Structure 1
Amino acid sequence: MIGIKVVLCFLVKGDEFELGTTLQVFQEVGGLGLIVAKNPTRTLDYYASDFPSIGPDIAAPGVNILAAIPPEETPYEFKSGTSVAAPHISGIVALLKSLHPHWTPAAIKSALVTTAWQTDPHSGEPILAEGNTNKIVDPFDFGGGLVNANGAKDPGLVYDMGESNYVFNYLCPMGYNTSAIGSIINGYVTCALKMPSILDFNLPSLTIPSLKDTVTISRTVTNVGPMNSKYKSIIEPPAGITIKVKPETLIFNSNTKKISFTLTISTTHKYTTGYYFGSLTWTDGVHRVRSPISLRTEFP
């Protein structure tokens, strides 16, 4: 910490109890000021002292401060909490954008989802649903998992999308009329006569709410890691579900930065079920790009 004059930190639930010690240590090593971006519903008055410190809201002022700092001038240390509703996610998004200015919002979301932890990163124990000591969390509780900021800055692969993907692969298949879509994008659009499947929308996760027959779903990943990379697939299918991925191996080089693959999904269930959960993971031995899968079968 020597040489650091001002620290900006994003407050997570429970961290306020350590602020007094943090302030004291930082002051002893020659720090000049502390910025604590916090939830607007929390007060930090009880640790007030003569040491210069402010507590801007995490959602806007705190993120704007972070985004305004040139990344080459800022030493970052990532800290992550284990609360499912941790409010520091907006700060991590701003940080990822500063580290990767050409990433789209979809790429940033993908990096966060596919690198998240599914168990407590400190103890390795299962994570329990907040307010329920008997229920282990599932993707409906925490999405991809607990945010892993160090992993998100180097995810290996991302599921990327641009504006046209949102228009033609989401808004059009969802049934929005062209005038409504035009007002959203401030332009003119014509949806295809044959709509693509909404299941092919290039999200880093996969949900099928009513699986009846075998379906084939496509996704495209973009390599943002080493140029020459080879990823193998690992499937953890939901109970009673068969999933085949094609191709099973993705090979990237200087000419191949994007690769599409398909998932063929079928069920052995003969009755309507609740949701079952699984995952698809791409790994090159260093990165683990994990996509959560949730689906239920439905019969008349």
Structure 2
Amino acid sequence: MAAPHLAGVVALIKSIHKNWSPAAIKSAIMTTADRLDLDSKPITDDYDRTREPAGLFAIGAGQVNPQATIDPGLIYNIMTSNYIQYLCGLGYSDKNVSVIVDRQIKCADIDNISAEDLNYPSITVTLDPNVTKTVTRQLTNVVISGAEVYNAVVEEPKGASVVVTPNKLGFGGLGMKKKFTVEFKITDGSMSKDQESEGQLLWRSPKHEVRSPVSVTFA
């Protein structure tokens, strides 16, 4: 039943924010989702009947909060040109990308981006020992009135450090955009190859909380 419920939430958002892109709508749904259930307890994974807290790959961003999606504060937007950069960065041929976007594309003439740098509302990286990895994200203000200042609050994945730069962002007018970087580095050499660790990045203002799930896989 998740699909029809989400379709209804999308229709609700679109009725209020008629000019929002699909990516903006998805961002609003993901960044306002709840990590806890209605009893304020961690959402559990019922698949194997253990009732253990569910991981990111089971619950995604969390439980959708329809009311919060209407006023997310900030969104991670993605334009068509960004998807083209992403496809080229994945190594698709000019012919394949051209077929997908229905126009002629030359990846050599485009600033390609890695999958990790696509402006998605969550962050997933693979970390090699002794290597620092940095990803970039851009936030867009969707609050009609009033300036807000957001502070970054990080829940670091076990075994990795996370540094957000800058760790404070100020937004004034509607549509204002601000970029930031997130730097990852392994801090625990005992983490095994292909082990996964989870955390979160929260941008918090007095009125809004914009949450991004963070996943790290150790190489």
Matched-pair contact (CA < 8 Å) for 1:269–1:297: no
SS at match of 1:90: helix
Partners of 2:90 and 2:79 in 1: CA distance: 17
Identify which of 191, 198, 208 aligns with 1:277: 198
- Does residue 236 (structure 1) correspond to residue 155 (structure 2)? The answer is yes
Where structure 2 has 5 or more consecutive residues not aligned to the other structure, the ranges are none
Partners of 1:196 and 1:115 in 2: CA distance: 26
Q: Which residue of 2 aligns with 1:157?
A: 74
Partners of 2:163 and 2:151 in 1: CA distance: 13
SS at match of 2:54: coil
**Mean CA deviation greater in 85-94 or 173-182:** 85-94
- Does residue 290 (structure 1) correspond to residue 215 (structure 2)? The answer is no
Matched-pair contact (CA < 8 Å) for 2:134–2:183: yes
> Which 4+ runs in 1 deviate beyond 6 A?
none
Q: How does 1:1-300 map to 2 (within 5 A)?
A: 85=2, 87-120=4-37, 122-134=38-50, 135-168=52-85, 170-192=86-108, 195-212=112-129, 213-225=131-143, 226-254=145-173, 257-270=176-189, 271-298=192-219
Partners of 1:294 and 1:96 in 2: CA distance: 27
Partners of 1:209 and 1:87 in 2: CA distance: 33
Partners of 2:81 and 2:15 in 1: CA distance: 24
* RMSD, matched Cα: 1.8
Decide which structure has the larger Cα Rg and report it: 1
Matched-pair contact (CA < 8 Å) for 2:142–2:175: no
The count of corresponding residues between Structure 1 and Structure 2 is 213
What is the letter of the counterpart of residue 263 of structure 1? V
What is the letter of the counterpart of residue 8 of structure 2? G
Matched-pair contact (CA < 8 Å) for 2:142–2:174: no
SS at match of 2:183: strand
Q: Which residue of 2 aligns with 1:78?
A: none
Matched-pair contact (CA < 8 Å) for 2:146–2:173: yes
Matched-pair contact (CA < 8 Å) for 2:162–2:183: yes
Partners of 1:293 and 1:87 in 2: CA distance: 27
Higher RCO, 1 or 2 (CA under 8 Å, sep at least 6)? 2
Matched-pair contact (CA < 8 Å) for 2:27–2:120: yes
Bigger fraction of residues in strand: 2
SS at match of 1:232: strand
Where structure 1 has 5 or more consecutive residues not aligned to the other structure, the ranges are 1-11, 13-84
- The TM-score with structure 1 as length reference comes to 0.67
Matched-pair contact (CA < 8 Å) for 1:211–1:295: no
SS at match of 1:165: helix
**1:273 to 1:187, Cα distance in 2 relative to 1, 3 A:** closer
